[in-house]
Structure 1
């Protein structure tokens, strides 16, 4: 039934009722391949009870491991990068409880979620960081990127034990460290990388400067300081630029990563919003989902991640069009997932 639910989500179905309708409409031979009795299809109530009762974290770990085994190896001289980022499921809010919040780890290049964990109201993302990454078997030589909330000494100690590298954004939650980074002689440093991009009605110029900080930065393991400057303008307002400057630190030394790789990993972290969260919100309408009970919100988010991951591995860039393609033939989701009779 879980596999059937993933297939239905691949076809764009968003609710328990819709999944039950997809299962009810399956051709007999397709239902048998999925292990479903052709004459006794599961009802919406059965599917709802199952998905509400599932433990979402082992489910996400199993799906993440299945997807991770299919991610191509990085090119020689490069590394896998994992972005750690949180998302609130706005539709899960009820009169008596706040919206659920999920912390996820996604492989940047493939745009695939490898693990997720629930952040309940009694804790926050910081305390769930090790528990999340514990669900990924091997972090050796990978680069973990995270926003300023996770610029924590305990986190880098954990990543060192896992033999992983890191790039962490630094903002006002670490005022002393942020002041040290802002006070470095950046005006004397040439750009190490420059990139321009057009999209979403705007033009953006990004520059990266790098300084080695073997001493003088009060953060364990920091080897290089990074200054990222972004200048943006709307295409219909060519003379009006806005700019912002962000600082980051990394344990990677100059010989371990080229400037363009550091720039790619930093951009890759920000792009998780577009490649994962935006797709779940816009294509799957997640923030207006009426699924709110028990483990249902996290389980459905995990099924969406599974569908998006499988489609990404197949080379899909337009998830909405791929949903429609797989909805037109019940066997297509099975082929995508490699399911055969």
Structure 2
């Protein structure tokens, strides 16, 4: 498959081999931590020099490790290091542990884009190390999804009872490595559009399909993707009145039956999920030259309109529900289009849902909006590491992210050893052991 993700490749690899990662040992753990600490030192410190006790990079590493171990507040970060005083002294060479106010102040002053870029770089190094050790190819095409998330609980003004709107965060999520490439604060849901355009314009989108909901179906957004030699597939709803109406009138039952008989214009999937049978029928209509030059003349690189007809039948009650969605895309293959449509929901199910259930972001007790954004960035980096650990070390029995987070809290040193091994390519290459499965 052209869109085969790292997780899919690891699952396929584990069908014939068992992956074991040796314990890094105390000395290796400290060496990797100090190596990561050096990277964190690259984050600019805007505090008054000469009046700080704790270097910025050290505080960031403290926050990152505490988040890995289950910390959900600055107070619990302080508690974590008080419970791990021996590691603290050995790693940072200090006796006094920062207060929760120090952690909160640091979170509020870090530039979010710099912290995110640093963590993404570390995570991508681990992806490269995994592929190299297991001899897995880089997929020829990747999927990047754009969507926003509301941080409930942030709608408070510091030191007052005044209520303000919850912080909205725009995320750009890479499906292959399950890493959030960008996280940017926005004031309202509608402000997603210009922020997404700015971020997409900074990216190299060659051999990339960008997926998004109907809000981002804008001619300028499409133009940015096309100019970067990328592809796209996005929802068509009422905000694109004429194009959406064209799709609704196009996909009649008669026309859908005709498309079924045309090679490359029909694709169907079925699965049992949430105790119901879900069947999806995808229809692709290639636009004619006159349609491209007419109604769709402003949409660069446009090729087709896609209809997804979804039928759900509950296994117990027998209740049936139907759903129809329309999409505009530059893709020419119905199988690719169907895969990208399904994959787009990963940003909601795999990223946003896990942030709410595993990290309890809706209960985040940070009224400072920059601090809340930076804590969310730390959460996403930790989630990405959990996923890699689950894929590699869970074998055929996957370990849930929520369970992994508890394991970190209960047995931090051993769990941290595995996480650190993933974060250092040289150590991972030496520590990974591949054992072929016996065939019967």
Scaled by the length of structure 2, the TM-score of the pair is 0.70
Is the 2:150–2:169 contact (alpha carbons within 8 Å) kept by the matching residues of 1? yes
Q: CA deviation at 1:58?
A: 2.1
CA distance in 1, matches of 2:373, 2:312: 35
Secondary structure at the counterpart of residue 92 of structure 1:
coil
Residue correspondence of structure 1 range 282-293 to structure 2 within 5 A? 282-293=357-368
The equivalent of 1:92 in structure 2 is 154
Q: CA deviation at 1:90?
A: 1.1
Residue correspondence of structure 1 range 70-81 to structure 2 within 5 A? 70-71=126-127, 78-81=140-143
Is the 2:81–2:88 contact (alpha carbons within 8 Å) kept by the matching residues of 1? no
The equivalent of 1:55 in structure 2 is 111
> 231, 235, 243: which is aligned to 1:165?
231
Secondary structure at the counterpart of residue 174 of structure 1:
helix
> 295, 313, 321: which is aligned to 1:233?
313
Moved more, 122-131 or 330-339: 330-339
**CA deviation string 1:277-308 (max 9, x = no partner):** 11111121111222121411111111110100
CA distance in 2, matches of 1:192, 1:236: 30
Q: 1:4 to 1:91 in 2, by over 3 A?
A: same
Secondary structure at the counterpart of residue 315 of structure 1:
helix
The equivalent of 1:210 in structure 2 is 284
Q: CA RMSD in A?
A: 2.4
Q: CA deviation at 1:310?
A: 1.2
**CA deviation string 1:239-270 (max 9, x = no partner):** x211111111111234xxxx333212111101
Is the 1:12–1:320 contact (alpha carbons within 8 Å) kept by the matching residues of 2? no
**CA deviation string 1:56-92 (max 9, x = no partner):** 1221222223323444679677411011010011111
Moved more, 323-332 or 23-32: 23-32
Secondary structure at the counterpart of residue 274 of structure 1:
helix
Note if 1:318 corresponds to 2:400. yes
Is the 2:267–2:338 contact (alpha carbons within 8 Å) kept by the matching residues of 1? yes
**CA deviation string 1:150-170 (max 9, x = no partner):** 001000111122221111111
> 274, 277, 280: which is aligned to 2:352?
277
**CA deviation string 1:22-48 (max 9, x = no partner):** 122225246533xx2341222211111
Is the 2:150–2:167 contact (alpha carbons within 8 Å) kept by the matching residues of 1? yes
Secondary structure at the counterpart of residue 368 of structure 2:
coil
Q: CA deviation at 1:227?
A: 0.8
Moved over 4 A (4+): 72-78
> 43, 47, 56: which is aligned to 2:99?
43
Is the 2:331–2:337 contact (alpha carbons within 8 Å) kept by the matching residues of 1? no
Is the 2:197–2:224 contact (alpha carbons within 8 Å) kept by the matching residues of 1? yes
Moved more, 20-29 or 45-54: 20-29
Moved more, 214-223 or 48-57: 214-223
Q: CA deviation at 1:234?
A: 2.6
CA distance in 2, matches of 1:6, 1:117: 19
**Number of residue equivalences:** 333
Specify every segment of 5 or more residues in structure 1 that has no aligned partner in the other structure, as ranges. Answer: none
The equivalent of 2:412 in structure 1 is 330
**CA deviation string 1:194-223 (max 9, x = no partner):** 112222233211111112114315332211
Scaled by the length of structure 1, the TM-score of the pair is 0.89
Specify every segment of 5 or more residues in structure 2 that has no aligned partner in the other structure, as ranges. Answer: 1-58, 157-161, 392-398, 428-440
Note if 1:13 corresponds to 2:80. no
Secondary structure at the counterpart of residue 148 of structure 2:
strand
Residue correspondence of structure 1 range 32-181 to structure 2 within 5 A? 32-33=90-91, 36-71=92-127, 78-94=140-156, 95-121=162-188, 124-134=191-201, 136=203, 138-181=204-247
Is the 1:117–1:132 contact (alpha carbons within 8 Å) kept by the matching residues of 2? no
Bigger radius of gyration among the two = 2
The equivalent of 1:2 in structure 2 is 60
More helix by percentage? 2
